[in-house]
Amino acid sequence: MILEARNLSVAYPLPRGLISRPAPLTVVHDVSFRLERGKTLGIVGESGCGKSTLGRALLHLLPAAKGEVLWAGENPAQMAPETLRKARAKRQIIFQDPIAALDPRMTVLKSLTRPLATFEPGITRAESRDRAAEVLQRTGLSADYLARYPHELSGGQAQRVGIARALIARPEVIICDEPVSALDVSIQAQVVNLLLDLQEDLGLALVFISHNLAVVRQMADEVMVMCLGRVVEQAPAEAFHLSPQHPYSQALRQAVPEPDPLAERSRRGKALQGELPSVHAPPPGCVFASRCDRARPECRTTRPELAPRGAALVACPY
Amino acid sequence: MLEIKGLTVDFRVEGRMVRAVDGVSLSIAKGQVMGLVGESGSGKSQVLYALMGLLAENGRAGGQALFQGQDLLTMAPRALDLLRGKRIAMIFQDPMTALNPYQRVGDQLAEVLFHLPKAQAWERAVAMLERVKIPDAAARARRYPHEFSGGMRQRVMIAMALLAEPDLLLADEPTTALDVTIQAQILDLLGELAAETQTAILIVTHDLGVVARLCDRVTVLYGGRVMEEAGAEALFEAPRHPYSQGLLAATPRMEAPLAPRMTTIPGTPRAGAASLPGCPFAPRCALVTDRCRKETPQLIEGIACREVTR
């Protein structure tokens, strides 16, 4: 298993006041999954659901508050510094805002070769330039782009550079945090296909974080739906898209506007009502109860655990 | 209600004029929702800014934009002031930057009704917040924008736009920054509004799903020019322009058989296309001919492409 989470929880220290000590605010609760080479885990959910925090914890950029992350069976928190540095090279990330993710004062060449300076300190200049040109070509940009600065790139080109930078250290896992959300539709499809091609050629395992279910459908083998830091459903992608089980998954699915006016007409006036509870005051019961039209009194008091239903795990007993 | 004829927008950049919008024409009737669709750089937002007199300092609008018979583009600033915020309202993509962070939400809303006594204006503001489904509106009105979630801020913006009961609402990507569940709420709200109050809406978006849910008609922009204008159902069922076809094919769907790869439009948009002769989509088009590169196709019967109308 190239990447695994076991009952992983992640917390941020939350300042409480001048005198009292910061209290941890847990924003990701009890996440478990196993990801193989060449496969994609899609993580979906609304803003504030903890999906990006989870992504950072999987890279060991944030510590686990409880549970553990395993990189090819080993816990990065217990690695010796040198082993950790080598292991980090194999785990990269791509960000949502492709231009902000690049240093405006660095040429593409410099941005691309920075990871090599860290992960392969002995490498010569000529070698690292060749590697940069090679990964750039893999992402569909010619070597001419090596001399450019981020402001000279379009969003789509900058995201290709972001992907090339993630590839240069020859990773096994890439965390893609909303990699196409900021791109135009015609460019989004190109970048999705690029990620699929790279995955096929290089056997990459991907964690694809997105709020766009239609894009996740194209990318993922397994889907994990998060709400307020908790997994409410985890299922093989095909089964999930045929029939999402949790009421929250169903609501998300209904909310994605389909480019089809006839189908959309029947959905008008049926938007999910109610407000998302605050992460600072999570409800004692089900995280979705305040917006669920099928909620029962016990849903507001007792939190349902993830339990198997068919091929899926669903945190809703009804 | 609104009739735009041959709208152009030019910007002075380093001493020369660069065209961003080239000859956009469209009209919207009472109670109608028109979607203005395009990708970044297509000029779609500049169309709205031109109508509202909000172009950047170096920008200049040409052509005509008739609102109830008066040309918004040549109107004296004072006359325009009498329309803006009253007969014509606008909502923006990012409600946080469009609201005043130092002022209570209720006061910002009540300000729109400055001609009324203060207590009465406040009452109307609270009623409008209720109408856009802000829970506990009377208490919420005393709060500041940062105490609202993104979806609620957008509803506050809509409430503010509606207070003056405008005849025309201009919406610039009003749901792009929101989660899909909140987006669905806001789109429902705008739809109800158009139906109930007969407000005409011109909504700028890059998302064809949004158009499908809300709009009656669609204008597709590319490189500052109109490629196609059609009824929403007709456009989705049988897009005619190669760009509309490509855009629709590249939009990911939930309810369609899944192919191993997505359909793409090759290439990238060309910067400054509106300043150049020829069809702006020509470099990415499968049907391109030499003539497409030299001669700008005119919009005839809703389509600007000679190759598909021949």
Q: What is the pLDDT of residues A177-220, one digit of tens each?
A: 999 988 888 889 999 999 999 999 999 999 999 988 999 999 99
Q: How confident is the model at residue A77 (pLDDT cuts 50, 70, 90)?
A: very high
**Which pLDDT belongs to residue A240?**
95
Low-confidence ranges of chain B (pLDDT < 50): none
Bridge partners of B203, per DSSP, are: B35, B171
Find the mean pLDDT for residues A76-99.
94
CA B134 – CA B226 distance, rounded (Å): 38
B 135-164 residues inside an 8 A Cβ radius of A: 135, 149-150, 152
Rounded alpha-carbon distances, angstroms, from residue B239 to A267, B178, B259 = 23, 28, 21
**Which pLDDT belongs to residue B248?**
95
Shortest CA gap A150–chain B (Å): 16
Yes or no, beta carbons of B268 and A192 under 8 Å apart: no
pTM here is 0.90
**Which pLDDT belongs to residue B310?**
65
pLDDT surpasses 90 at A85: yes
Yes or no, beta carbons of B185 and A190 under 8 Å apart: no
A and B: number of Cβ contacts within 8 A: 137
Shortest CA gap B14–chain A (Å): 17
Find the mean pLDDT for residues A23-51.
93
Share of chain A above pLDDT 70, in %: 100
Yes or no, beta carbons of B212 and A257 under 8 Å apart: yes
DSSP code, position B259: P
**Which pLDDT belongs to residue B132?**
85
B 256-275 residues inside an 8 A Cβ radius of A: 258, 260-266, 268-269
Closest residue of chain A to B188, computed from CA coordinates? A269
Yes or no, beta carbons of A196 and B191 under 8 Å apart: no
- B-chain CB neighbours of A252 within 8 Å are 180-181
**Which pLDDT belongs to residue A213?**
92
Yes or no, beta carbons of B213 and A188 under 8 Å apart: no
CA B118 – CA B110 distance, rounded (Å): 7
pLDDT surpasses 90 at A238: yes
pLDDT surpasses 80 at A21: no
Nearest residue, CB atoms, A261 vs list B133, B233, B268 = B233
pLDDT surpasses 90 at A58: yes
pLDDT surpasses 80 at A12: yes
Share of chain A above pLDDT 90, in %: 78
- A-chain CB neighbours of B196 within 8 Å are none
Count CA within 13 A, CB hemisphere, residue A96. Answer: 11
Query: What single letter denotes the amino acid at residue B238?
Result: A
Closest residue of chain A to B260, computed from CA coordinates? A218
Mean pLDDT of chain A: 92
Yes or no, beta carbons of A272 and B183 under 8 Å apart: no
